[in-house]
A = this chain, B = another copy of it.
Amino acid sequence: MFIVLSLLNPDPMYKQVTDQVKDAIAGGILKPGDKLPSIRELSLELKISIITTKRAYSDLENEGYIITRPGLGSFVADINKEKLREEKLAEISVTLLKIIKTTEKFNITRDDIFTLVKEIEEKTNESHR
């Protein structure tokens, strides 16, 4: 699998797993119907407890990303990608709202932000070369 866990990441293990699976689905790396590795396989590969993997998979199932068929394994669900996109937009909206509140308190202007975004884009482009 493509999943990478980090001790330095403050997110708990199970969340690192679900987030990366969600991203893979959103990005088309995992497509509806694809089979996910079994809980035991993934636990071994990531060197984490079976309980943790279980937690990640059941979260994903509860949120509708995957479907687990006992005895068969787990499969990517038939997800409305448009819905995924809108969920992400809602998340981003919350984050942006926080940023806007912060800027007001700290005398940060719109131009500061634009400069920041440009810098980020330049760095990103460089690292892609």
Contact = CB atoms under 8 A, between A and B. Distances in A.
How many copies of this kind of chain does the complex include? Answer: 4
A4 interface: no
Contacts of A85: 106-108
Interface in A65-91: 67, 69-72, 75, 84-85, 88-89, 91
A93 B116 contact: yes
Interface residues on A, range: 35 or more
A100 B88 contact: no
A108 B75 CA distance: 26
Contact of A26 (B7, B67, B105, B112): B105
Interface centre among A69, A102, A105, A120 (most CB of B within 10 A): A105
Given A8-B67, A89-B108, A100-B120, 8 more contacts: A7-B72, A12-B71, A27-B106, A85-B107, A92-B103, A93-B116, A97-B124, A100-B121
